[in-house]
Amino acid sequence: MDQKEKILIVDDEKIVRESFYHWFIEDNYIVDTAEDGETALIKYAKEKYDLLLVDMKMPGMSGLDLLSKIKAIDKDAIIILITAFSSVPTAITALKNGAYDYVTKPVDPDELAHLVKRALEQRALKIENVQLKENIDEIIKPDNLIGESFQIKKIYELVHSVSSTDTTVMIRGESGTGKELVAKAIHINSRRKYSPIITVNCGALAESLLESELFGHEKGAFTGAQFRRKGKFEMADGGTIFLDEIGSISLMMQVELLRVIETKQFNRVGGNELIKSNFRVITATNESLEDLVKAGKFREDLYYRLNVFNILIPPLRERRDDIPLLVNFFIKKFSCAMNKKIKNISKEAMDFLMNYQWPGNVRELENAIERAMVVGKSDSITVDDLPFHVSRNNLELPGDEKSLASIEKKYINRILNENDWNISKTAKILEIDRVTLYNKINKHNLRKAE
Amino acid sequence: MDIFIAPVKFYSNLLLQNLIKELSKRFSSSIHVVDIKLNMDDFFSIDRKQYFSTQIIAEMINLTDQYDGKIILLTDVDIFVPALTFIFGEAQLNGKHSILSVCRLHEIFYSGIANESLLLERTIKETLHELGHNYGLRHCIDWDCVMHASHGIEEVDIKGITYCNKCRTKVEGYK
């Protein structure tokens, strides 16, 4: 982080000054300290500070006195006062005298970090200091969203056009096509890129956990809740919330979701405080929401609220031209991570990859290359290194079974059998969560052979 | 440069073993477990019911002269610095010593449900984070980087589990 903001800590206790000092240094601030109000004033006359953290109670000049004197010099100075005890009269006096805010010592690190960040952001906006943000653009860029095919170029265009807006986006595509990568690409190309993108896999969470996960909970909200916990919507403040497998949420949660998306306000579970959060919504699904709406399993009003801007990611088998590019990208990625000298792939192996159906799409391709890199002995990936050697013929399509559903069924059944129906292990290999795997087992009516 | 893990008032051998396994995958440096005779009770605050991490690090410096590498003290107890209510860890910037408490990395504290794999993931992240400070890294703006600041458990979970390219180049022995 290239933050250049300068903070002055004014506190008579050395131990407190030092702990604040180290904490802010790690957070990339330039930090200076003063042990009393007089020293702080001398330093302030010589240097410009972006924020002052001032202890209220100090021998000699008090924190409130220092606040008044600094404000007389610079009315825009940002001063946060620190008190030993939370008291409303003190807070009111401090705020009336122009303090930005006050905190009680010891300070919750999360609260302090956000308070300082917010104060400095406001200041930065005020003086229109956009230079800082431009400097870090190169750090964040989309990973793995690779391809030169016209389909993927179309997706780049869509991502580009929707990123600059706050429009709700729905991403559709089969499992493993890279829906999350597209969501991430939208986020990092938007003005929200300096705040996080929070991913929620709606299909992976039990109904009872989803509410607490999305909205957070207060201490004591339920048995075992020993601490306050922020929910995903709160964590996405200023950023983006990515709701994956949106089609799997219950009708009851859909009502809640619609309300929160429309009002941007909610309560934590067990809490009365109304939490406001400024988030952008991106959803993804591999189901037909239209069919779910028709079947009464998905609310029509929520559907229209979410289905504002659509991006459809084609399966890998429909953009085979991108396979060589992806293969080379993954070889480079894994050779660096594994410190292996594998640099390329044999023609026979590439032909095999080009002709494979890829039911698990790009994710399956990535896994195949990773596994090949692990077992590969030469400087080139061969067909024998690919994870299909057990029975290559199994992957060739029988004449009468060319639908995606039949391929998926066959593939899942094979991986289940290879792992003796160990659900966790199979889900891990397929890179889907256990709930999704159970759903697919039920959908395809798969049974373990006796 | 080797990495030394010093468990003190740390009771999960399984977590320790898994952490070593994960660190070995990430670093070419050797990972050692060392027993340092540090009495944590000397740094216990009766008022706060927590242990003062800065003083613990100062004591570590006295006790670990013989180790040539980075030394991280791993503990189950809750730690603090006077200005803040708690911290997950503390490290010498560009130094040799750091401390990590897994006390508030346990999911059971937040949701009431134990989650050992999540605990391991959080412990890996925070270990890499504190070691990163030892290697001179400050907080990174990239949310995918393990050096992103985490002032609450939510931020530990959001951030990535690896160093970004920019940070990685500064960490010695990182694969």
Domains with residue ranges and CATH for chain A: 6-134 (3.40.50.2300), 142-312 (3.40.50.300), 331-443 (1.10.8.60)
Q: How far is residue A212's CA from residue B111's CA, in Å, rounded to a whole number?
A: 9
Mean pLDDT of A256-279: 90
Pair A86, A104: CB distance under 8 Å: yes
Of the candidates B113, B154, B166, the beta carbon closest to that of A230 is on B154
Question: Are residues A110 and B155, on separate chains, in Cβ contact within 8 Å?
Answer: yes
Q: Residues of B with CB below 8 A from A28's CB? A: 138-139
A223 reaches B (C-beta below 8 A):
yes
CATH number of the CATH domain containing B32 = 3.40.390.10
Residues A373, A340: Cα–Cα separation, whole Å: 8
Can you tell me the mean pLDDT for A429-446? 86
In the chain, the amino acid numbered A325 is: L
What pLDDT, on the 0 to 100 scale, is given for residue A21?
93
- Residues of B with CB below 8 A from A230's CB? 152, 154
pLDDT mean over A114-135: 67
Which of A89-98, A178-187, A391-400, B140-149 is the least confident region? A391-400
Burial status of residue B172 (CB atoms within 10 A of its CB: 0-12, 13-18, 19 or more): middle
Is pLDDT larger for residue A415 or for residue A448?
Answer: A415
Task: Inspect the interface and report whether the beta carbons of B112 and A198 lie closer than 8 Å.
Answer: no
The pLDDT tens digits for B8-61 are: 999 999 999 999 999 999 999 999 999 999 999 999 999 999 999 999 999 999
Check residue A401 and give its pLDDT.
Answer: 62
Q: Find the residue in A nearest to B130 (Cα).
A: A26
Per-residue confidence band for B84, with pLDDT thresholds at 50, 70 and 90: very high
* Short-list A281, A328, A275, A326, CA closest to A114: A275
In a domain, B173, yes or no: no
Using CB atoms, pick whichever of A13, A113, A139 lies closest to residue B149.
A113
> Who has greater pLDDT, A111 or A391?
A111
Q: Which residue has the higher pLDDT, A10 or A357?
A: A10
- pLDDT bracket for residue A138 (50, 70, 90): very low
Q: Residues of B with CB below 8 A from A27's CB? A: 138-139, 149
Mean pLDDT of chain A: 84
Instruction: Give me the pLDDT at residue A127, please.
Output: 61
**Which residues 6+ apart lie within 8 Å of B112 measured at CB?**
A222, A223, A224, A225, A226
Is the bond into A106 cis (omega within 30 degrees of 0)?
yes
For residue B97, give how far its alpha carbon lies from the nearest alpha carbon of chain A (Å): 14
Nearest 5°: CA angle at A166, between A319 and A290? 55
Q: Is B80's CB within 8 Å of A18's CB? A: no
Say if the Cβ atoms of A225 and B112 lie within 8 Å.
Answer: yes
pLDDT at residue A260, rounded to an integer: 93
Shortest CA gap A355–chain B (Å): 34
- Segments in B6-158 forming alpha helices (H): 13-26, 53-63, 108-111, 116-134, 153-158
How many residues does the structure list for chain A?
Answer: 450
Q: Which of B22, B126, B130, B154 is catalytic?
A: B130
B126 noted as active-site residue: no
> Is A312 an interface residue toward B (CB < 8 Å)?
no
Please state the domain count of chain B.
1
Report the distance separating Cα A246 and Cα A101, nearest Å.
39
Cα separation, A152 vs A178, whole angstroms: 11
Q: Sorting pLDDT into bands at 50, 70 and 90, what band is A133?
A: very low
**pLDDT of A152:** 87
Structure tokens at A110: 């999360």
Predicted-complex ipTM score: 0.84
Chain-chain contact of A27 with B139 (C-beta, under 8 angstroms) = yes
Tens-place pLDDT, residues B51-78: 999 999 999 999 998 999 999 999 999 9
* Contact status of A1 with chain B (Cβ, < 8 Å): yes
CB contact under 8 A, B154 and A16: no
Q: What is the pLDDT of residue A132?
A: 40
Burial class of A124 by CB neighbour count within 10 A (0 to 12, 13 to 18, 19+): middle
Contact B110 A229 (CB under 8 A): yes
Please report whether residue B174 resides in a domain. Answer: no
CB B99 within 8 A of CB B73: yes
pLDDT tens-digit profile of A58-69? 888 989 899 999
Q: How confident is the model at residue A97 (pLDDT cuts 50, 70, 90)?
A: confident
| Whether pTM exceeds 0.80 | no
- A446 touches B at CB < 8 Å: no
In the block, which residue shows the tokens 């990773």? A370
Q: Classify residue B175: in a domain, yes or no.
A: no
What are residue B40's phi and psi, to 5 degrees?
-65, -30
Q: What pLDDT score does A141 carry?
A: 40
B85/A225 CB distance under 8 A: no
Q: In terms of CA atoms, which chain A residue is nearest residue B168?
A: A337
Domain span holding position B119: 2-168
Give pLDDT tens digits for A201-215: 988 777 777 888 899
